[in-house]
Amino acid sequence: MADALLELMNVEVLYSNVILALKGVSLKVAPKGCVALLGANGAGKSTTLKAISGVIASDDGRVSGGSIAFAGQAIAGRETASVVRSGLVHVMEGRRVLPHMTVEQNLVIGGHMFANAARMRRALDGVYEAIPRLADLRTRTAGYLSGGEQQMLVIGRAIMAEPSLMLIDEPSLGLAPRMIEEVFAVLHRLRGNGLALLIVEQNTRVALELADYGYVMESGRIVLEGAAGELGANEDVREFYLGLDRDGGRKSFRDVKHYRRRKRWLG
Amino acid sequence: MLSAEGVTLRFGGVTALSDVSIQVRADEMLAIIGPNGAGKSSLLNVLSGFYRPQEGRITYQGLDILGRPVHQIASDGVVRTFQGTHLFPHMTVLDNILIGRHARMRGGLAQAFVYFPWTRNEEARHREIAENIVEFLEIENIRHQPVGALGYGLRKRVDLGRALAMEPRVLVMDEPMAGMNTEEKEDLARFIIDVREARRIPVVLVEHDMGVVMDLADRVAVLDFGRKIADGTPAQVQADPAVIQAYLGAPA
Amino acid sequence: MDPSGVFFTRYQRDSTLVRTRAQWLALAMFAGLLLSLPWIASPRLLAVANLMFITAIVVVGLQITTGYAGQINLGQAAFMGVGAYGASVMEVKLGLPFWVAVPAGGVIAAAAGWAFGLTAARIKGFYLALTTIAAQFLFVFVVLNLPSSWLGGVNGFSLQPARLGPVAFDSDAKLYYLFLIAAAVMVAGALGIVRSRHGRAFEAVRDDDVAAGMMGIDVAGTKARAFVTGAFYAGIGGALWAYQIRFVSVDQFTLFNSIWFIAMMIVGGLGSIVGALVGTVAIRAVQETITSVGPNLIERFPGLGTDLVFASMNVFLGLVITGFLLLEPKGLMHRWNILKANYRLWPFPH
Amino acid sequence: MIIEFLNYTLNGALLGLLYALVAMGFVVIYRASKVFNMATGEMLVLGAFLVWWAVASRGLHPAVGIAAALAMAVLVGLAIERFFFRRLIGESVFSMIMVTIGLLILTRGLVLVIWGPQERAFPALIRLEPLIVGEMIVPRPLAAAGVVAVVFALGLHWFFNRSRTGLAMSAVAEDHQIALAMGISVRRSIAFAWALGGVLSVISSIVYLSGKSLTFLSSEIGFAALPVALLAGLESIRGLLLAGVIVGVVQGLTSAYIDPLIGGNAASVVPYVFMLVVLAVRPNGMFGWKRIERV
Amino acid sequence: QTTVNLAAFADFAGPYANVMNDMQGGRLAVIDWWNKEVGEKMNVRIALKTYDTRYDVAQTASLWPGIKAELKPALVLGLGGPDAAALQQRLPEDKVPMLFGTAAYGFGWKPNQWALNVRPTYSHEAAGFIEWFRTAKLEGKRPVKVGIITSEATPAYADMAKGLQAYAKANPDKATFVEAIWTEVQPADLTLQVRRLANAGTDLIVIQTNTAQAVATKRALQSLNKNIPIMLSLHNGVLGSSKALGNPNGFAGDYEVGAIADASEDDTAARKFYSMLQSKYGAKAGWNSMTMLGMGQAIVAVRAVEAAAKAKGATGVTGEAVHAALISTDFTGAQLMGLLPGVDFKPENPFPTGSAKVNIATMKDGKVVRVAADAPVPAIPKW
Ligand SMILES: Nc1ncnc2c1ncn2[C@@H]1O[C@H](COP(=O)(O)OP(=O)(O)OP(=O)(O)O)[C@@H](O)[C@H]1O
Ligand SMILES: Nc1ncnc2c1ncn2[C@@H]1O[C@H](COP(=O)(O)OP(=O)(O)OP(=O)(O)O)[C@@H](O)[C@H]1O
Ligand SMILES: [Mg+2]
Ligand SMILES: [Mg+2]
């Protein structure tokens, strides 16, 4: 992967000048590649994406070390808008719709950089076709959509921008099983069209199906990386991320790890 | 214990719930599932008094609670967690949990102004309860961090802690496990099981992770487009073709 | 944050404000300094200190309404005016002593605050902020148009000095102690409030009022309480002002004053009582310095046009405020906390 | 009598439209940057002095002078973005309001230093003879204010709600961070907003002050226009027209029929009282974005 | 030589910034003159130090203790309402008198004041004019129908309307009060309000607030094609208002009135004094009514210091001595260089009453022309 589309080298991120959230993260996304970023809560996955796109600046954070290159250009510290214009969009965690706008307005704004209205229209139709649910909701105010509907909307909005690299933070969050299949089908199709993806996902199974390479983060560091297949076979990943027991069967949530249970509370 | 009868809820042209009836029995875990936009969150909002349905009745411990102020319903024991998080981002984890104690504390403004020892002792008493919850949820290391700086998963845990601090008599949870990896889901599942064992309270759970729902729930209700299409044990529901068609898609 | 090596064995200790011996010592020295100020400070400084005490009380109240409970209030000066008029009526019309009139002023202002607080249950955000400006206009209109035998109308009120037994608070030095005590009590009270369940409820309502309701907090009541508290502080400040100036009229309480109160709060840092004090002192100090620099500049360089010098002072003041906000938009307390955090971690940067 | 009543109503409505035009300064900047500009009145004074300087002081032909003033106002707007708001993107709404307050103090000081406190005769750029319709008398500047307000409101309404650029700017008003992540240049949006604010300040100063006197205190109209902005709803440009007319008429009739009765100035508080009442019923003004409260 | 310190309050950045320069120039010139021509002989020198109070009570209140301690002033040259509000209760205790060059207000009308105005109230001045107007223009046949345009922006402005009303009520044979038009400080349009006055047969419109209201009223009259004379006060006089109107002769036929020398072109004593100050002392102030305010205030100040020095000796010029001199001395018009008709403070009135006379000037061909000197001021009941 010599000519990676996105390359992070030893990136460090500092929040409020005191909290060091990333402690030297290096990762690469090949052109048209798909990379999954896994990790526990608070590991720094979202921070990584925010550092890449630059929105971290408005969270009182900054990239304090290392380098980030996108399509050969150093982008660390650049203004988000210009990074996004160069072909990278970031779907932030937390269903960040524009609440007072209708679904269609949200999508149109997603395609605000199209030169002419006809191309925008085409992209819009493309999104409606990919996620038909959005077509039904087009005149609804985004802020009143259900959680899952909002999730679909932000993904649709990102597609509108026709990026070459998409950073997605937890796309399956809050989606019903059938919707997850649909959304990932869309992502598969986009991959087929040459879109590169960096995806943070807790639904490890589908993520590893989609990705060809994966990284596992733990408290601000990459602790494990490998091809998607390898990772899927790793014992820890199987236990902690896929929820499988040693022989590959699914454990029941009812009798998991009661040994770790500490009944100090209400004891 | 808590029940909705014939609830219909409309927003302008959108019918979020139509004629939905649901009963939460004492000491059971009821899961509500359904596709996105089916009306699950809306139903929880109706139960906790935030939405006022156009038709139907909500009863809690035998009393009609429709139209009661939200905060009263909450302090009477119908306690919930939120889809997404609705924590107080600028407050610390501990303060968020202490908010759960608010309705159980008594001191008035004037007492707070003078801050005599009894105010301080009351604070300390409740602080102790909050600390127990912190310990139970294993979030000791972040207790003084503002919640806004936490990742999604930890927030969900704090959200649960805050609800527990309210001493719920019915615990209503909206997608508590979204955004967690399997290990964390297991932890949370454990917390929920513990709470139920220790408190013997009913839990209403909305969740999209079928593994969790099928393993934990005693009973499952399925909503689709605002209507209840199924209600039964996990096994019954999982086998229901209407449910598979509307929700599960390929067998999980 | 606690210095390392400090551990608490009881939760009570955690809510204590002063924890270590070093903190006690610093506080004692500060108190000593404050108590001896009338002997060591120039009369001008003393007058400025008096003004700072009054302003600090008002700004601390604003901090509770706005910084803690998130209800932006651009009418704090009007509530201050209500307090001043309230106290004046008590003193002038009813002949009550100042130690009744001052709290009464606070209570009357609190009642006015309550009326506005009720609207806060419905009107939110910017809309609320800008409707509080209405408090200003209504205040002026009501005072000027009620029969002048009620609130003095255009004539205002003249007051006798506050009197406690044989002591008349008629000089800056005497008023200094009165105001110092009042400010200390009010600040201590504010610290109590923000540490209590009410303080937390205020913050919860600020951060997310919908969720707060579902957590058993009576949102409308809490907002009203936040306004009542803030207005009470403004009223106490206004009442003290009445006893300092001993003449009260509507034009002493302007929208511009409210704006300055907001500036003080923000410069200090939102959501911090100490921040309110710091901000008050900082802005008043800058204002007063600029005011004193003007005449001296002119004396030294008579060639400079008087008008130009004084007008430039305004530009300078504007630059200080905006410059400050650009460099430290989260307020002085934020910077202080970062400094403290860095100090704790020293020698490691993070 | 009835004619008189109609005349008060009409002039009140037109005055209200003048307020609407001034209030547009608040709304446009808010709509494209999420900043509530407390210095709107001061901006107007600045715009007015630019016009005065170009037309009255330098003696340029009015058309040229106004063009020059507009150009300068745009530059001022751009400079404000560059020096003040660029650093604050994503900061709390509070800091931004505060900066506009700082701007208010600063602008006032600068106007005093540059032009001094004297009263200046603002050139009569609009003919002064009133329009006489039957027994009704309508001052021409007010009529002009009405026309300009309507034209601008409709134009800007279209821009912000229909054009893609305008929509993108509205996204900035929703949330700086989302806008950034979508590749919208928050910077440019803010710059545009302030430049537009500059243009509006020049235009409204012309209709407000033509033939009157100008000092730095003319900024007071900013606070008179405030209730109009709130009544309309902070995001609604078209709504300003209706809100302006309502406030203007209520104020006009109060000043005509109530003030003489009570011997006081109820007309100055009536817009605020009216605003309070309406907001109690509709907390986001008549056409503002409704606060979305969901869990 | 003994130095007597005086403090002066100014407002270079607030609402009166526009008039401050001339006023200050007038103050300084008079003091320079007195130091040279009177003080030197008495071995007394007056030093004036100026403070910007921004027309703000809090500012004055915080400055004052410092001024008092540092300067130990024997007298303060105040500027207006806020200075009085901040200090009127303190001055008797601090034993420092304060003088204002502006007209007084009803609310300052209290006995035993240390804050004194060298002119009676605005309403007194208006009443003096109305009585002259009645005889001169209406041949004394009927009461003058008078309306006032003012604002509630400050209590002082509101007071003007109340005082005028009180006068009309007490003298129904002299004046009929038509209406007070309440408007903003910077009105957008007054056409209909003025038409209401015109329709009521108003003979005279009084505007003692500010220039913006005068200009807006003038524009309204022009729109209506009406010619009702306007009576202005000195601080918003005909010259300034015409300039602000953009027409040097805009207020032709209107009047400016004050119980102080007017800025007319006539060769009055005040004018001569001013010319002398200009040529010999380089007075940095134009020939206008604002300068007159500064000069009038300063001349009473220096004469009071002079009287105190004569009574108590050069070193005895304390605030108390100056106050005593102010109250007990009847300053004549000649002593005051014709700047004021005479000043006779009485303990019960903090402004001259017995000697108060108004000068009335009008505008003709772009010039201020005196039409009546020393028109007497009637008595008005306290309001
Ligand atoms: N705005 C912020 N200010 C301070 N610290 C922050 C901020 N945002 C995140 N952090 C810290 O950075 C660390 C990484 O957070 P991040 O959001 O990247 O985690 P994550 O891996 O995305 O977790 P999750 O799966 O829960 O979303 C956390 O420990 C958090 O406390
Ligand atoms: N306040 C509201 N105003 C308008 N429409 C609403 C409102 N609340 C919910 N809806 C609509 O009602 C429908 C049901 O929403 P709800 O949030 O209950 O879905 P849900 O079952 O929780 O879905 P998800 O699993 O995606 O969270 C949705 O179509 C939503 O857009
Ligand atoms: Mg994350
Ligand atoms: Mg939901």
Tens of pLDDT, residues E141-186? 999 999 999 998 888 899 999 999 999 999 999 999 999 999 998 9
Answer whether B151 sits within 8 Å of A42, measured CB to CB: yes
Query: What pLDDT is attached to residue C10?
Result: 65
Does residue A128 form part of some domain? no
CA angle B209–B212–B218, rounded 5-degree value = 125
For residue A180, the domain's CATH number is 3.40.50.300
A19 lines ligand 1 (CB under 6 A): yes
Dump pLDDT digits (tens) for D60-110. Answer: 999 999 999 999 999 999 999 998 888 888 777 777 887 888 888 889 888
For the cut 90, the answer to whether the pLDDT of residue D196 exceeds it is yes
Considering only the C-alpha atoms of chain A, give the largest distance between any 2 of them, rounded to a whole number of Å: 66
Q: Which of E61, E2, B217 is nearest to C242 (CA)?
A: E61
Query: What pLDDT is attached to residue E262?
Result: 83
For the cut 70, the answer to whether the pLDDT of residue C3 exceeds it is no
Higher per-residue pLDDT: A250 or A206:
A206
Does residue A190 form part of some domain? yes
Does residue A71 form part of some domain? yes
Interface mutation vs chain C, best among D29, D118, D230, most C CBs within 10 Å:
D230
Q: CA A125, CA A110: separation in Å to the nearest integer?
A: 13
DSSP annotation of A260 reads G
The amino acid present at D262, given as its one-letter code, is I
Dump pLDDT digits (tens) for D115-130. Answer: 888 889 999 999 888 9
Query: What pLDDT is attached to residue A93?
Result: 86
Distance from CA of A82 to the nearest CA of D (A): 7
The amino acid present at D119, given as its one-letter code, is E
pTM attached to this predicted model: 0.92
Which of C127, C134, C330 has the CB atom closest to D283's CB atom? C127
Interface mutation vs chain C, best among A17, A18, A19, A20, most C CBs within 10 Å:
A18
Distance from CA of A174 to the nearest CA of C (A): 19
CA atoms within 13 A on the CB side of C288: 24
Residue A53 pLDDT class (50, 70, 90 cuts): very high
Query: What pLDDT is attached to residue C5?
Result: 43
Residue A266 pLDDT class (50, 70, 90 cuts): very low
For the cut 60, the answer to whether the pLDDT of residue E75 exceeds it is yes
Q: Which residues contact C321 (CB under 8 A, 6 or more apart)?
A: C263, C267, C283, D98, D101, D102, D105, D106
Residues of D in contact with C144 (CB under 8 A): 264-265
C253: Cα separation from own chain's centroid: 14
Contacts by E87-91, CB closer than 8 A, 24 or more apart: E87/E60, E87/E61, E87/E115, E88/C158, E88/C247, E88/E113, E88/E114, E88/E115, E89/C158, E89/C159, E89/C245, E89/C246, E89/C247, E90/C246, E90/E64, E91/E115
Mean pLDDT of chain D: 91
For the cut 80, the answer to whether the pLDDT of residue C346 exceeds it is no
Dump pLDDT digits (tens) for C235-279. Answer: 999 999 999 999 998 989 988 899 889 889 988 888 899 999 999
Query: What pLDDT is attached to residue C345?
Result: 62
Residues of chain B with pLDDT under 50: 251-252
Chain B contact for D295, CB < 8 A?
yes
Tell me the ligand closest to A13's alpha carbon: 1
Touching A (3+ Cβ pairs <8 A), the chains are B, C, D
For the cut 90, the answer to whether the pLDDT of residue C309 exceeds it is no
B85 alpha carbon – ligand 2 mean position (Å): 16
A39 lines ligand 1 (CB under 6 A): yes
Residues of C in contact with D95 (CB under 8 A): 266, 325, 329-330
Query: What pLDDT is attached to residue A263?
Result: 34
Ligand 2 site, CB within 6 A: A 144-149, 174; B 11, 14, 16, 34, 36-42, 83; D 294
**Residues D159-172, mean pLDDT to the nearest whole number:** 89
Residues of D in contact with C308 (CB under 8 A): 113
Residue C272 region by backbone torsions, left for phi larger than 0, else alpha for psi between -120 and 50, else beta:
beta
| DSSP secondary structure of E326-344 | HHH--EETTTTTTSSSEE-
SS3 state of residue A255: helix
> Which residues 218-257 of D have a C-beta within 8 angstroms of C?
223, 226, 229-230, 234
Q: CA C154, CA E109: separation in Å to the nearest integer?
A: 12
Distance from CA of B244 to the nearest CA of C (A): 34
Chain E contact for C51, CB < 8 A?
yes
Answer whether C322 sits within 8 Å of D91, measured CB to CB: no
Q: What's the complex ipTM?
A: 0.91
A47 lines ligand 1 (CB under 6 A): yes
For E245, nearest residue in chain D (alpha carbons): D121
Chain C contact for A17, CB < 8 A?
yes
Question: Tokens 């002033």 — which residue?
Answer: E73
Chain B contact for A115, CB < 8 A?
no
Does residue A151 form part of some domain? no
**Residues C10-33, mean pLDDT to the nearest whole number:** 77
Q: Which residues contact C152 (CB under 8 A, 6 or more apart)?
A: C85, C88, C143, C248, C249
For the cut 80, the answer to whether the pLDDT of residue C339 exceeds it is no
Q: Do chains E and B touch (3 or more CB pairs under 8 A)?
A: no
- Domains in chain A: how many in total? 1
For D183, nearest residue in chain A (alpha carbons): A81
For the cut 80, the answer to whether the pLDDT of residue C341 exceeds it is no
Dump pLDDT digits (tens) for E189-242. Answer: 999 999 999 999 999 999 999 999 999 999 999 999 999 999 999 888 898 899
Instruction: For residue A47, give the ligand 1 atom closest to its CA.
Output: 18
Instruction: For residue D294, give the ligand 2 atom closest to its CA.
Output: 1
Does residue A144 form part of some domain? no
For the cut 90, the answer to whether the pLDDT of residue C76 exceeds it is yes
Tell me the ligand closest to A217's alpha carbon: 1
Does residue A177 form part of some domain? yes
B15 alpha carbon – ligand 2 mean position (Å): 9
Query: What pLDDT is attached to residue A247?
Result: 63
B226 alpha carbon – ligand 2 mean position (Å): 9
Chain B contact for C211, CB < 8 A?
yes
Q: Which of A172, A48, A152 is nearest to A110 (CA)?
A: A152
B180 within 8 A of A202, measured Cβ to Cβ? yes
Query: What pLDDT is attached to residue A265?
Result: 34
Instruction: For residue B40, give the ligand 2 atom closest to its CA.
Output: 21
Distance from CA of C106 to the nearest CA of D (A): 24
Residues of C in contact with A17 (CB under 8 A): 338, 342
**What fold does the segment set B2-248 form as a domain?**
Rossmann fold (3.40.50)
Instruction: For residue B44, give the ligand 2 atom closest to its CA.
Output: 18
Instruction: For residue B154, give the ligand 1 atom closest to its CA.
Output: 26
Please give the interface size between C and D, counted as residue pairs whose CB atoms are below 8 Å apart.
Answer: 132
Does residue A26 form part of some domain? yes
| Sheet with strand E44-52: strands edge to edge | E44-52, E2-10, E75-77, E98-100, E115-117
**Type and span of the H or E element at E307:** helix E289-312
For the cut 80, the answer to whether the pLDDT of residue C142 exceeds it is yes
Q: CA C333, CA C280: separation in Å to the nearest integer?
A: 13
Dump pLDDT digits (tens) for D218-234. Answer: 999 998 899 999 999 98
Structure token digits, residue E204? 């005279």
Q: CA C119, CA C238: separation in Å to the nearest integer?
A: 23
Q: Whose CA is nearest to atom 30 of ligand 1?
A: B150
Question: Peptide bond before C347: cis, by omega within 30 degrees of 0?
Answer: yes
Q: Which domain holds residue A183?
A: 6-96+163-233
Report the relative pairing of strands B219-224 and A61-70 from DSSP bridges: unpaired
The amino acid present at C202, given as its one-letter code, is F
Distance from CA of A143 to the nearest CA of C (A): 15
E379: exposed, middle or buried (Cβ count in 10 Å: 0-12, 13-18, 19+): exposed
Query: What pLDDT is attached to residue D147?
Result: 96
Dump pLDDT digits (tens) for A18-36. Answer: 888 999 999 999 999 999 9
Residues of A in contact with C345 (CB under 8 A): 18
Q: CA B189, CA A254: separation in Å to the nearest integer?
A: 8
For C123, nearest residue in chain D (alpha carbons): D283
Distance from CA of B243 to the nearest CA of C (A): 31
Distance from CA of B219 to the nearest CA of C (A): 25
Chain D contact for C147, CB < 8 A?
no
Answer whether D174 sits within 8 Å of A144, measured CB to CB: no
C199 within 8 A of C68, measured Cβ to Cβ? yes
For the cut 80, the answer to whether the pLDDT of residue A262 exceeds it is no
Mutate to test the pocket of ligand 1, among B150, B157, B177, B184 (most ligand atoms within 8 A of CB): B150
Q: CA C189, CA A247: separation in Å to the nearest integer?
A: 63
Burial D126-159 (b: 16+ CB within 10 A, else e): beeebeeeeebbbbbbbbbbbebbbebbeebbeb
**Residues A47-53, mean pLDDT to the nearest whole number:** 94
Query: What pLDDT is attached to residue E289?
Result: 81
Positions of E strands within chain E: 2-10, 44-52, 75-77, 98-100, 115-117, 144-150, 175-182, 204-207, 230-233, 255-258, 331-332, 342-343, 357-364, 367-376
